[in-house]
Amino acid sequence: MSRRIVVVTAGLSQPSSTRLLADQIAAAVTTQVAARGESAAVEVIELRELATDLAATMASGGMPTAAVREARDQVSSADGLVAVTPVFTASYSGLFKMFFDALDPAALTGMPVIVAATAGTPRHSLVLDLALRPLFTYLRAVVVPTGVFAATGDFGTGAESEALSSRIGRAAGELAALAVSGSGSLGSSVPGSGDERRRTSGTRLDTDVTPFATLLRGHRG
Amino acid sequence: MQFGIFSVGDVTPDPVTGRTPTETERITNITRIALATEAAGLDVFATGEHHNPPFVPSSPTTLLGYVAARTRTLTLSTATTLITTNDPVKIAEDYAMLQHLSGGRVDLMMGRGNTGPVYPWFGKDIRKGIELAVENYHLLRRLWREPVVDWQGEFRTPLRGYTSTPAPLDGVPPFVWHGSIRSPEIAEQAAFYADGFFHNHIFWNTEHTAEMVGLYRRRFEHYGHGSADQAVVGLGGQVFMAGTEKEAVRRFRPYFDNAPVYGHGPSLEDFTRMTPLTVGTPEQVIERTLGFAGYAGAYQRQMFLIDHAGLPIDVVLEQIELLGREVVPTLRAEFERIRPSHVPSDPPTHASMLAQGPSAPFHLVQPALAYAANAEPSVAVPA
């Protein structure tokens, strides 16, 4: 079975170290899914290409442009998500946040997620646990225990670089295990929670209507 | 088919001149727009209801009562009446009063409002928006249909032996629409009671409008009121016209670019593609508007938003005149040409409802057959 892994990357420069990290994680996830006897198809969403669409969506009361709508469907129907942002002013970038703001609140329910970030200095590393994790927890995603933080120095050779590779491998293994178990597919709720809130991209009307007799709660006349 | 103008009632600076009308000017201009709507041969004027600046129409029946006194044929409506935060008892009284004064030229559209704080301002909880819309409207139906009402609900102080006064004109309650952009529960509500469903249409992409209207139509049929294509549908529209498309775009662009809801966001061209907005010649407006029936089905009421974003009053009046002279006559003829014979042309009016007599289903608080019989239509009943 093929699992769809969507990579959301918020790097702005070309080439981008954020994209570089995203590609390394994606490759590791592909390897780890293969190690579990399945294949992974990776789709990359470069948020830079959605920048004006996201702004237009925000400034028109949330009406998604065609490109935003497509990205929403793409993300919610994935089996796993890799979310990578550069650190700007002590947190994820505004563009990164704007994308997740444009999703339905139930868009990532039960979704296995790797959080990752790049920065010029290792002193920003807590951004993963203080900014990205709470964001995805709010969205009821399942964030894997290992986050991937890469400062510029980690892209060199030596001990730092090896440590980065090993973190990437560990995170990829954790995501692959969840993605292959199929615990986080579209329409699913948080596994074993008894919670009925299902994942939805929100781009289509939920036609599963509550019958009016239920809404009326016994009023007669 | 009915055509009309609906106004949000915003007081917005004219982005070209920088001038902001006073509240008095805006209110006077809204009444001029309503009178011009009738003069241009259109059928309906509807006002919004808001309780916060920069909007002025906090008191719709005062405004509509004034308009009623100065018009003869115009149907007076709302877009929307806040069924969530108004007391349904007061809605029952206010609009019945307006019915008597206007000779039955009243219908109204229920909505939930566009600003969060309006709930706490009126002592309500926004998280109960749908529940409020359901319970309050059910009480409103009873007040207009039962001579004496005993009531106990979650949101309002109980009523015992209450008679709403005046009673609806000729014992015929005003026809009601339910407006919602995104809530399936409201489409369900409209379908359950065989009320009309109105989709604002202009602030969301057209595929979504088609889904909402489709849901309402299916549920209308489910509740046994007729076939899905006979359900009563109204749509919003937004146009700006000139002799050429280029001229229309040139004149409208500064207003579009600075409009309160979508200004500084999508380009005029993108917004035109995604929503029903049409900026061009009257012929382009005709073609685009006829296309609405392609995804919403043959429908009964088309409302146009003309007077927002700070457009000056003389331009608004010119646009209404253009609609009446060059657009609506053709739309009337063409919509009737494509309408199946079993689909009603107009929404119910006071005259048409009165003519149906005292046993017509709309006199029931709950006219839904599927509900009354406590059975789904799919369940076979032996003949």
Inter-chain residue contact B270 with A56, CB threshold 8 Å: yes
Beta strand segments in chain B, E: 2-7, 44-47, 75-78, 81-82, 107-111, 149-151, 159-162, 175-179, 196-199, 233-241, 278-280, 301-305
pLDDT digits (tens, 9 = 90+) for B229-274: 999 999 999 999 999 999 999 999 999 999 988 899 999 999 999 9
Contact A204 B211 (CB under 8 A): yes
The verdict on B204 touching A (C-beta cutoff 8 Å) is yes
Per-residue confidence (pLDDT) for residue A100, from 0 to 100 = 98
Provide the shortest C-alpha distance from residue A201 to chain B (in Å).
Answer: 14
- pLDDT above 70 for B101: yes
Interface with A, mutate which of B146, B256, B270 (most A CBs under 10 A): B270
| Beta carbons of B266 and A66 less than 8 Å apart | no
- A15: preceding bond cis by omega (within 30 degrees): yes
Residues of B in contact with A56 (CB under 8 A): 265-267, 270
Q: Which residues contact A198 (CB under 8 A, 6 or more apart)?
A: A106, A109, A187, A188, A189
Q: How far is A55 from chain B (nearest CA, A)?
A: 7
Q: Is A63 on the interface with B (CB under 8 A)?
A: yes
Q: Is B117 on the interface with A (CB under 8 A)?
A: no
Mean pLDDT of chain A: 93
> Taking CA atoms, what residue in B is nearest to A56?
B265
CB contact under 8 Å between A215 and B191, yes or no, is no
Q: Do B203 and A61 touch (CB under 8 A)?
A: yes
Amino acid residing at B152: Q
- A98 in B contact zone (CB under 8 Å): no
ipTM of the modeled complex: 0.86
The top-scoring range by mean pLDDT among A2-6, A59-63, B204-208 is A2-6
Closest CA relative to residue A17, chosen from A133, A159, A154: A154
Burial class (CB in 10 A: 0-12, 13-18, 19+), B359: exposed
Give B190-237 pLDDT, tens digit per residue: 999 999 999 999 988 889 999 999 999 999 999 999 999 999 999 999
Contact status of B170 with chain A (Cβ, < 8 Å): no
CB contact (8 A) between residue B188 and residue A216: no
Residues with Cβ within 8 Å of B349's Cβ and at least 6 positions away in sequence, in order, are B75, B104, B107, B175
Provide CATH code, domain A2-216: 3.40.50.360
CB under 8 Å to A219, separation ≥6 — which residues? B135, B138, B153
- Percent pLDDT > 90 in chain B is 92
- The verdict on A56 touching B (C-beta cutoff 8 Å) is yes
Look at residue A102 and tell me whether its pLDDT is greater than 90: yes
Structure confidence at residue A195 (pLDDT): 60
Q: Do A59 and B365 touch (CB under 8 A)?
A: no
Please tell me the distance from the alpha carbon of residue B186 to that of residue B195, in angstroms, as a whole number.
11
Q: What percent of chain B has pLDDT over 70?
A: 96
Tens of pLDDT, residues A183-200: 666 666 655 555 666 899
Q: Is B270 on the interface with A (CB under 8 A)?
A: yes
pLDDT at B178 over 90: yes
Band of residue B375 on the pLDDT scale cut at 50, 70, 90 = very low
Q: Which residues contact B380 (CB under 8 A, 6 or more apart)?
A: none
Whether B81 and B49 have beta carbons less than 8 Å apart is answered as: yes
Residue of B140, B149, B188 to mutate when probing chain A, most A C-beta within 10 A:
B188
In angstroms, the CA A84 to CA B30 distance is 51
- Find the closest chain A residue to B363 by CA distance: A221
If we measure between CA atoms, which residue out of A110, A142, A148 comes closest to residue A127? Answer: A148
Q: What percent of chain A has pLDDT over 90?
A: 80
pLDDT of residue B371: 58
CA distance B127 to A202: 19
CATH number of domain containing B52? 3.20.20.30
**What pLDDT is attached to residue B373?**
46
DSSP letters, B51-110, are: SSTTB--S-HHHHHHHHHHT-SSPEEEES-EETTTS-HHHHHHHHHHHHHHHTS-BEEEE
**Mean pLDDT score of chain B, rounded to an integer?**
95
Q: Give a yes or no: residue B381 inside a domain.
A: no
Does B217 contact chain A (CB < 8 Å)? no
Query: Mean pLDDT over residues B5-33, rounded?
Result: 97
CB < 8 Å to A61, chain B: 203, 261-262
Name the residue in chain B with its Cα closest to that of A65: B274
Residue B223 structural domain: 2-372
Beta-carbon contacts of B82 under 8 Å, excluding residues fewer than 6 positions away, are B49, B111, B112, B113, B118
Query: How many angstroms separate the Cα of A97 from the Cα of each of A51, A103, A115, B250?
Result: 11, 10, 13, 35
Compare CB distances from A55 to B184, B185, B265 and report the shortest one's residue.
Answer: B265
Q: Is A196 in the B-facing interface, judged by CB distances under 8 Å?
A: no
Arithmetic mean of pLDDT, A138-142: 97
- Report yes or no on B383 lying in a domain: no
**Is residue A58 less than 8 Å (CB to CB) from chain B?**
yes
In a domain, B378, yes or no: no
Q: State whether A205 and B271 contact (CB < 8 Å).
A: no
Residue ranges with strand state E in chain A: 2-9, 39-46, 80-88, 91-92, 112-119, 142-143, 148-151
- How close, in Å, is residue B141 to chain A by CA atoms? 9
A1 touches chain B (CB under 8 A): no
In angstroms, the separation between the Cα of residue A138 and the nearest Cα of chain B is 19
Q: A221–B146: do the CB atoms touch at under 8 Å?
A: yes
CB contact under 8 A, B265 and A59: yes
Map tokens 């046994």 to a residue. B224
Quick: pLDDT tens for B43-79: 999 999 999 999 999 999 999 999 999 999 999 999 9
- What residues does each domain of chain A span? 2-216
Across the A:B interface, residue pairs with CB atoms under 8 Å apart total 84
Q: Is A221 in contact with B203 (Cβ distance < 8 A)?
A: no
Instruction: Tally the domains of chain B.
Output: 1
